[in-house]
Chain A
């Protein structure tokens, strides 16, 4: 158990819909990262937040957005969903942002878009 929690575990929805994925980081971790992993693909970095502020952006689509709240939990919002958005979405947390520290990953949310 990494200490990072993600909800829900599974999500099934239809094209065009909007969903919200939630992540709670390990106690004391200020940085949260979101990744997407499509079938048989590597992990694609989406976005990083540190203490409520966006710090780094990867291959995140404009239909996707994220935020980190004062209690440090984070949400990833996916809208106008397409079939290709079906994937595992992982959240990770780490201690800081100025220096790379090992990331602790949650169990993931499996999104299926029908």
Chain B
């Protein structure tokens, strides 16, 4: 599995866009980028995933660079409830042997 690198922590003002970067320079062609978040010791929550194209859903947008070596999760209008640890992971789309590794993620603090 490709490894990911994320900043340890970030701050964002409430109402502003939060842009969370993730480096996955060793990603393979069949590996997806997934984002989860974990709010204060709760179970992690799926946010969004993508392969090549940019993706958007009701929670966030995912921008993947053309070479797929990095991506950015965008929370368009951060609220205090978005304060959480955000995990970026990469995983193959198939293969039958699933071993998803979560790193230590980025701790996002949304400031009033």
Judge: A and B partners, yes or no.
yes
Interface residues of A in 38-76 (CB under 8 A from B): 41-45, 48, 55-58
Judging by beta carbons under 8 Å apart, are A88 and B41 in contact? yes
Among residues of A, the one whose C-beta sits closest to the C-beta of B48 is: A102
Interface size of B by CB at 8 A reads 26
Interface segment out of the listed B10-18, B58-66, B70-78, B98-106: B98-106
Judging by beta carbons under 8 Å apart, are A90 and B43 in contact? yes
Residues of A close to B26: CB separation below 8 A: none
Measured CB to CB, the closest approach of chain B to A101, in angstroms, equals 9
Measured CB to CB, the closest approach of chain B to A45, in angstroms, equals 6
Among residues of B, the one whose C-beta sits closest to the C-beta of A42 is: B104
Residues of B close to A35: CB separation below 8 A: 102
Q: What is the interface residue range for chain A against chain B? A: 20 to 34
Complex alpha-carbon distance, A58 and B43, angstroms: 19
Judging by beta carbons under 8 Å apart, are B105 and A100 in contact? no
Judging by beta carbons under 8 Å apart, are A97 and B96 in contact? yes
Judging by beta carbons under 8 Å apart, are A100 and B100 in contact? yes
Known: A102-B34, A103-B100. A43 touches B93 (CB 8 A): no
**17 pairs, A vs B, C-beta closer than 8 Å:** A2-B45, A4-B43, A31-B98, A45-B101, A88-B41, A90-B43, A90-B44, A92-B43, A97-B96, A98-B95, A99-B93, A100-B32, A100-B34, A100-B98, A102-B34, A102-B46, A105-B44
Interface residues of B (CB under 8 A from A): 32, 34, 36, 41-46, 49, 87, 91-105
Identify the 7 closest CB pairs spanning chains A and B, nearest first. A105-B43, A43-B102, A102-B46, A42-B104, A100-B91, A99-B94, A105-B44
